[in-house]
Amino acid sequence: MRVLVSIKPVLDPSMKPRLKPEGAGIDLNQAKRIINPFDEIALEEALRLKESGKATEVVIVSVGNLQAQETLRHGLALGADRALLIQTERYCSSLMIAKILKAMVLRELPALMFLGKQAIDTDNNQVGQMLAGLLNWPQGTFISRLELQTNEIMVTRELDEGLETLKLRLPAVVTVDLRLNTPRYASLPNIVKAKQKPLTVITLESLDLSLAEPNYKIVNTSLPISSRKKIKVNSVQELIEKLKKEAKVL
Amino acid sequence: MKVLVIAEYERQRLKPSFFSALTAAKQLSPGNEIDLFVAGFECNDLLQVIKKINVKKIILVDDKKCEHQLAEVVADLISKVAIHYDFVIMSATTFGKNILPRAAALCDCTLIADVVQIIDPATFVRPIYAGNVLETIQTSEKIKFLTIRASAFEPTLIESDIEAEVECIKEDLISSRQDIVFISSELTEQTRPSLESARIVVSGGRALKSKENFKLIEDLADKLHAAVGATRAAVDAGFISNDFQVGQTGKIVAPQLYIAIGISGAIQHLAGMKESKVIVVINQDPDAPIFKIADYGLVGDLFQIIPALINELEKCNKTLT
């Protein structure tokens, strides 16, 4: 059973995003990139399925420019068997990414497609759902538990109101939430071994998809304005007094 | 501008986030060309309430196949109805995020997620990078699928004396899925105001140290008729269940008053609460990053401060009565 995991390189969350002048977007030049933390959890779950003998191959896939090879190489060091980079310099909407991933799914024919529930840069939370829709596959989103049985999976989803458990017949798409597992670190021998693992670069054009440009454009990026009082109070009595008389919220 | 809003409810009651989506719909269609889409099973009680909302039409799917509102079934129906609209809107709740992207893709449309501001009917503002950056998007998409951040749109309810017309979807349009089965759900009992609708939120972090100690947060919340929130660290440590998590990947709230106790202020947590009107921070560490976004900060031991606060609030209540 093959498992496919999508990997997105994102700005290291410990770094502050730097804006280009005149609201022209985020400056990612020379920024340190890591695997999107949710994708790392997705990869970890796929690796555990392989280690328990339930999956036979873990393939990671990314869409982007050649820089993404570094992130994919890290995914290989974590334990993926091989990597695919769909190389493009184009700006891709979530819908375009979903269409590209669909093409890769039809080529690789995995029984399970794993994605992080959202990327921590664009915070969109939609590629997995879109991909499941385009494939007409069942979807298990925001999952915190996965149990693979013959030909089907049981997943527990994290909802605003609590938890929900679904049974999905394979093939299926799942998007993972934080509490599914704790990802491993790449060991030094595995980092060395990863250099020998196959990483295939496929140009987007060669996939022969008719991908229209997105019907939207990002016209501005800016920093939110916040003005906080930053008053230090010295006692509980003073705090309550301020909240009543000054802020008028009690 | 024709707008379709998807109803979100639980136990036959509409959720506050749905009324926020309705507010966004009214901003987009001042002429009130708003229809509602309701999917469920045996939703007669719900329908009686929905009929009183001032909208044009209610599109109803009342069928066993929609009982658990599975994305595979509901998104498919929305995509069939959506072609008649300029906008399709839901709140960016786990319900909305599960369903609407799938429906958008089925219509070959993009979706603008987590809208916090509508500049005009083609221009929207949304936060990215855990709310550290705002992005303004202009779209010419044929059907504009939007999820809106409920905390950025005050819920409105406009009732009408005239009942909206109800259109029932034909049974044969509902897909039967053999590949997905609902097994169970564990919904948290609501004993206090919900995070999404509370005027006041009291949140606790890792510094509470244990599940037993976390009760202090709950006790304080009860004194203030507030909702309880938590950081990811507190949820991961098992102090409280996942549906109380506030942050980039949990719930995003903007109450009148947010009291953060024993929370250091990771950007992921700040993303979920920094739009609150007034922020109070109680922390032992005077250098905790969360003080940077505080209106009022109190440095000290939370195990002394919380009981003192509860005590003081009790005294205030007594003098009032």
B158 pLDDT above the threshold of 80: no
Q: Residue B202 and residue A131: Cα distance in Å, rounded?
A: 38
- Nearest residue in chain A measured CA to CA from B296: A231
Assess contact for B59 and B167: CB atoms under 8 A. yes
Instruction: State residue A187 phi and psi, 5-degree precision.
Output: -85, 160
pLDDT of residue B113: 98
* A199: closest CA of chain B, how far (Å): 29
pLDDT greater than 80 at residue A112: yes
- Residue B54 to chain A, least CA–CA distance (Å): 27
Structure tokens at B87: 């906008």
B127: Cα separation from own chain's centroid: 15
Report the DSSP pairing between strands A18-19 and A172-176.
unpaired
B95/A131 CB distance under 8 A: no
Domain annotation for chain A: domains and CATH numbers: 2-215 (3.40.50.620)
| Three-state secondary-structure class, residue A64 | strand
- Say yes or no for a CB contact (<8 Å) between B298 and A219: no
Give mean pLDDT, residues B131-154. 96
Q: Give the mean model confidence (pLDDT) for residues B155-159.
A: 82
Q: Kindly tell me if the per-residue pLDDT of A164 is higher than 90.
A: yes
pLDDT at B89 over 70: yes
pLDDT per position as a tens digit, B224-241: 999 999 999 999 999 999
Mean pLDDT score of chain B, rounded to an integer?
A: 95
Q: Cα separation of B298 and B255, whole Å?
A: 20
- The upper half-sphere exposure of residue B227, i.e. CA atoms within 13 Å in the direction of its Cβ, equals 25
Q: Do A239 and B296 touch (CB under 8 A)?
A: yes
Find chain B residues with C-beta within 8 A of A137's C-beta: 179
**C-alpha distances in Å from residue B165, one per residue of B74, B111, B162, B173, B318:** 21, 28, 9, 20, 51
For A28-74, write each residue's pLDDT tens digit.
888 889 999 999 999 999 999 999 999 999 999 999 999 999 999 99
d(CA B231, CA B238): 11
Q: Which of B69, B185, B189, B253 to mutate to test the interface with A (most CBs of A within 10 A)?
A: B185
| pLDDT, average across residues A21-32 | 88
A211 touching B (Cβ < 8 Å): no
Residues 6+ apart with CB under 8 A from B318: none
Residues 75-114 of A with CB under 8 A from B: 93-95, 98
Taking one residue from A and the other from B, the number of pairs with CB-CB distance under 8 angstroms is 251
Residues of B in contact with A26 (CB under 8 A): 129, 133
One fold for B3-173 and B200-320: yes
What lies within 8 Å, CB to CB, of B35 at 6+ separation is B2, B3, B4, B5, B55, B56, B57, B58, B59, B85
Q: What is the ipTM of this complex?
A: 0.96
* Residue-level pLDDT at B189: 85
pLDDT class of B159 with cuts at 50, 70, 90: confident
Nearest CA distance, B98 vs chain A (angstrom): 7
* pLDDT attached to residue A82: 98
Q: Is the confidence at residue B39, as pLDDT, over 70?
A: yes
Rg (CA), chain A: 21
Q: Between chains, do B98 and A141 touch, taking CB under 8 Å as contact?
A: yes
Question: pLDDT exceeding 90 applies to what percent of chain A?
Answer: 92
Query: Is residue B321 over pLDDT 60?
Result: no
> In a 3-state reduction of DSSP, which class is residue B109?
coil
* Cβ contact A8:A116 at 8 Å: yes
A177 has pLDDT over 90: yes
Per-residue DSSP letter, A242:
I
**Model pLDDT, residue A227:** 84
Tell if the CB–CB gap between A228 and B112 is shorter than 8 Å.
no
Chain A residues touching residue B283 (CB < 8 angstroms): none
Whether B180 sits inside 8 A of A168 (CB atoms) is yes
B291 chain-A contacts, CB cut-off 8 A: 230
Residue B162 distance to chain A (closest CA, Å): 33
pLDDT at A187: 95
Closest C-alpha among A163, A112, A148, A171 to residue B179: A171
| Chain A residues inside the 8 Å CB shell of B267 | 13
Q: End-to-end distance of chain A based on CA atoms, in angstroms?
A: 59
Spell out which residues of chain A touch residue B134, defining contact as CB-CB under 8 Å. Answer: 221-224
Residue numbers in B near A34 (CB within 8 A): none
Give the pLDDT band of residue B157 (cuts 50, 70, 90).
Answer: confident
Interchain proximity A142–B180, CB inside 8 Å: no
The residue-averaged pLDDT of B111-132 equals: 97
Contact: B134, A217; criterion CB under 8 Å: no
Residues in chain A closer than 8 A to B236 (CB atoms): 178-179
Mean pLDDT calculated for residue range A213-228: 92
Is the CB of B180 less than 8 angstroms away from the CB of A169? yes
Q: Which of A120, A163, A166 sits opposite B180 (nearest CB)?
A: A166
User: Which pLDDT value is given to residue B320?
Assistant: 59
Q: What pLDDT shows up at residue B197? A: 84
The per-residue pLDDT for B51 is: 92
Percent of chain B with pLDDT over 90: 89
Per-domain boundaries in chain B: 3-173, 200-320
Query: Tell me, what DSSP letter sits at residue A29?
Result: T
In chain B, the DSSP E strands lie at 3-6, 9-10, 13-14, 34-40, 57-62, 87-91, 111-115, 117-120, 123-128, 133-139, 144-148, 165-168, 180-187, 200-204, 227-230, 257-261, 278-283, 296-299
Cα–Cα distance measured from residue B118 to residue A14, given in angstroms and rounded to the nearest whole number:
30
For residues A128 and B111, give the distance between their C-alpha atoms in angstroms, rounded to a whole number. 13
Backbone φ/ψ region at B178: left (φ over 0), alpha (ψ -120 to 50), beta: alpha
Cα(A75)–Cα(A55) distance, rounded to whole angstroms? 17
| Chain B partners within 8 Å of A229 (Cβ) | 294-296
Please name the CATH architecture into which domain B3-173 falls: 3-Layer(aba) Sandwich (3.40)
B71–A172 C-beta distance less than 8 A: no
Q: In 3D, which of A211, A186, A200 has the Cα closest to residue A35?
A: A186
> For domain B200-320, is the CATH number 1.10.490.10?
no
The pLDDT confidence band at residue B196, using thresholds 50, 70 and 90, is: confident
